[in-house]
């Protein structure tokens, strides 16, 4: 039977300019949806996992559309709620070569940010669930969201669900009056796995970083439940060409994937979410190094697919890991 994974987080409507048009040129937008946590759920659903996402949408046709998107992507919506507020939006202009890609967020006062989840029966949410994933975006949005997430993490922990958190510190969120250090440590305390780079250690865990591995060992001391800390290393040669490597600290040593050349980027949004989805799948099915290799290959493939979500199968990821059929024409 397939593993069950639950995620929680905001989903925004994504409005993308066509091709390489700039915002000032575009007279139409591609409409899709994305959110760091839902991207993970969708990717895991394509891997055949049983996934469920907890979120809130406005009670209008845009909310309906967002929900239909999740269902289409095979994510269970039993814990998707209607709530007062706007549909969060983000506008995306895909860069090219030296020209950077740009996102304009328009997410304030969204249904999710207003939602306190008071009526959610968390016991049901985590029934039979194997893994729970959250990101640091949720507690950065509003006090409501931070409170709801804490409740979720606590219940998941009590029910013995494995927990991963993508720390993902973003300075321009966190506008509701709290500092990350007032909120994040309490959440990280319950995690088995976190994604954390230097800025995350410093801003959300109060750990100064000279060396990332040292910081991992320090984190283990401060947050003893932690078993894995991971990150990707991305080199942006241009908006069209990146290099990507996955790194995983497993409590005793640092593992590294090969470095991939990503040479003709179609869409790099969601590359990190594809990595953590791959890692969750990997840690549930493989040894550590294999898990990391799977995660990195999954992230690489994401860059070839338009939209936030990594629509690839386990077989396709494994083929890339094993350098089989890479870039061929499969009949």
Query: What is the signed CA dihedral for 151, 124, 167, 113, rounded to 10 degrees?
Result: -70
Residue 73 Cβ vs a second copy, minimum distance, rounded to whole Å: 7
Nearer to a second copy, 25 or 208 (CB): 25
Site string for a second copy, 166-205 (x = CB under 8 A): ----x-x---------------------------------
**What are the residues facing 236 on neighbouring strands?**
242
What 3-state class would DSSP assign to 276?
helix
42 phi and psi, to 5 degrees? -65, -45
| CA angle at 142 for the pair 50 and 123, rounded to the nearest 5° | 35
Name the segment binding a second copy (CB under 8 A); options: 35-43, 213-221, 260-268, 287-295: 260-268
Tell me the C-alpha distance between 299 and 309, whole Å.
Answer: 10
Q: Which stretch binds a second copy (CB under 8 A): 81-89, 142-150, 178-186, 287-295?
A: 81-89
Strands 75-76 and 4-8: unpaired
**What is residue 237's DSSP assignment?**
S
Cβ count within 10 A of residue 68: 12
Q: 5, 8, 15, 226: which one contacts a second copy (CB under 8 A)?
A: 15
Residue 69, both tokens = 């998107």
Q: How far is the CB of 231 from a second copy (least distance, A)?
A: 16
Query: Which of the residues 115 through 154 are near a second copy (CB under 8 A)?
Result: none
Nearest to 188 by CA among 172, 175, 171, 201: 201
Q: Does 251 bind a second copy (CB under 8 A)?
A: no
217-246: which residues touch a second copy (CB under 8 A)? 236-242
* Residue 65 CB neighbours (<10 A): 14
Number of residues in the chain: 331
Structure tokens given for 135: 């990101």
Q: Tell me the window of 13-21, 48-56, 156-164, 180-188 that interacts with a second copy (CB under 8 A).
A: 13-21
Q: Which window, 54-62, 144-152, 185-193, 201-209, contacts a second copy (CB under 8 A)?
A: 54-62
Among 60, 175, 208, 259, binds a second copy (CB under 8 A): 60
Site for a second copy (CB under 8 A): which residue of 11, 40, 73, 80?
A: 73
CB-count exposure of residue 208 (10 Å: 0-12, 13-18, 19+): exposed
Q: Tell me how far apart the alpha carbons of residues 16 and 99 are, in angstroms, rounded to a whole number.
A: 16
Structure tokens at 13: 């409507």
> Is residue 69 a contact point for a second copy (CB under 8 A)?
yes
55 belongs to the binding site for a second copy (CB under 8 A): no
Q: Is 268 in the site for a second copy (CB under 8 A)?
A: yes
Contact between 86 and a second copy per CB under 8 A: yes
Q: Does residue 213 touch a second copy according to CB under 8 A?
A: no
* Interface with a second copy, residue 301, by CB under 8 A: yes
**Binding of a second copy by 328 (CB under 8 A):** yes
Binding of a second copy by 82 (CB under 8 A): no
Cα separation, 109 vs 189, in Å, equals: 29
Q: Per-residue string for binding with a second copy, 307-326, x by CB under 8 A?
A: x---xx---x--xx----xx
Is residue 164 within 8 A of residue 133, CB to CB? The reply is yes
Q: Check residue 329 for interaction with a second copy (CB under 8 A).
A: yes
Decide whether 94 or 250 has the Cβ nearer to a second copy: 94
Contact yes or no for 313/46 (Cβ under 8 A):
yes
Q: Contact region for a second copy (CB under 8 A) — 35-43, 111-119, 210-218, 306-314?
A: 306-314
In whole angstroms, the minimum distance from the beta carbon of 163 to a second copy comes to 26
């Amino acid at each position: 039977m397939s593993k069950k994974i639950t995620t929680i987080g905001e989903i925004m409507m994504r409005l993308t300019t066509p091709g390489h048009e700039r915002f000032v040129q575009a007279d139409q937008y591609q409409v899709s949806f994305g959110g760091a946590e839902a991207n993970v759920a969708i990717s895991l659903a394509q891997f055949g996992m049983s996934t469920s996402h907890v979120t809130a949408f406005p009670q209008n046709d845009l909310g309906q559309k967002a929900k239909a998107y999740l269902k289409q992507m095979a994510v269970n919506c039993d814990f998707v709620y209607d709530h007062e507020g706007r549909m969060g939006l983000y506008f995306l202009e895909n860069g090219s070569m030296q020209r950077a890609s740009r996102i304009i967020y328009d997410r304030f006062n969204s249904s999710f940010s207003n939602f306190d989840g008071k009526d959610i029966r968390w016991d049901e949410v985590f029934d039979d669930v194997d893994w729970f994933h959250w990101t640091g975006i949720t507690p950065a949005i509003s006090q409501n969201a931070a409170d709801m997430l804490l409740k979720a993490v606590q219940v998941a922990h009590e029910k013995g669900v494995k927990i991963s958190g993508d720390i993902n510190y973003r300075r321009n969120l966190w506008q509701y009056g709290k500092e990350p250090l007032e909120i994040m440590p309490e959440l990280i305390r319950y995690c088995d796995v976190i994604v954390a780079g230097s800025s995350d250690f410093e801003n959300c865990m109060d750990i100064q970083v000279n060396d990332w591995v040292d910081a991992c060992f320090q984190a283990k001391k401060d947050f003893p439940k932690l078993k894995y800390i991971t990150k990707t290393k991305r080199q942006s040669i241009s908006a069209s060409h990146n290099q990507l490597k996955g790194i995983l600290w497993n409590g005793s040593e640092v593992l590294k994937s090969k470095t991939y050349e990503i040479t003709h980027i179609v869409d790099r949004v969601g590359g990190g979410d594809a990595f953590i989805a791959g890692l969750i799948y990997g840690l549930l099915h493989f040894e550590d190094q294999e898990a990391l290799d799977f995660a990195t290959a999954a992230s690489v493939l994401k860059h070839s697919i338009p939209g936030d979500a990594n629509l690839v199968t386990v077989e396709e990821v494994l083929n890339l890991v094993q350098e089989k059929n890479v870039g061929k024409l499969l009949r």
